[in-house]
Amino acid sequence: MKIIIQNSSDVPIYQQIYEQIREAILSKAISEGELLPSIRQLSRELKVSVITTTRAYTELEKDGYIMIVQGKGCYVKSINQHVLEERLLKGIEEHFSEILKSAKLLKKSDEELLQLLKFLMEEINYDK
């Protein structure tokens, strides 16, 4: 598992850890049932405080990605594909509504917005 902490970033460190582990789980880079490094091992490796890694793991547990078994370790939970898709879709919806709000502030027309989206999609596809 790869986790890269950016100290200069505005994103809190626990959130950086949370997001990168979540991404690894969602992209199946770590498979379900796999044992994650313990909270304290992870803080040593990342050179961050125990409270920070604890917070990242608790959030991951709360959101149903991992399971913390006292004294044993943290496992990647099996995720119901359907629920997962729904959750991700909801995330997309939320982001879109944010975009629409910002577009409204800037008085951008729907067409301009779509064009921007298309442009971005092409760029991402080109990267791949």
Nearer to other proteins, 16 or 52 (CB): 52
Nearer to other proteins, 51 or 100 (CB): 51
CA nearest to 21, candidates 77, 69, 71: 77
Three-state DSSP state, 90? helix
First to last CA, the chain: 22
Binding to other proteins by CB under 8 A, coded x per residue (else -) over 50-79, reads xxx--x------------------------
Q: Which is nearer to other proteins, 8 or 109 (CB)?
A: 8
Residue 9 binds to other proteins (criterion: CB under 8 A): no
How crowded is residue 35: how many other Cβ atoms within 10 Å of its Cβ? 12
Length of the chain: 128
- Residue 40 is a binding residue for other proteins (CB under 8 A): yes
Is 70 in a helix, a strand, or coil?
coil
Stretch that binds other proteins, among 37-45, 61-69, 85-93, 110-118 (CB under 8 A): 37-45
CA distance 40 to 74: 11
Give residues in contact with other proteins (CB under 8 A). Answer: 7, 10, 12, 14, 38, 40-41, 43-44, 47-52, 55
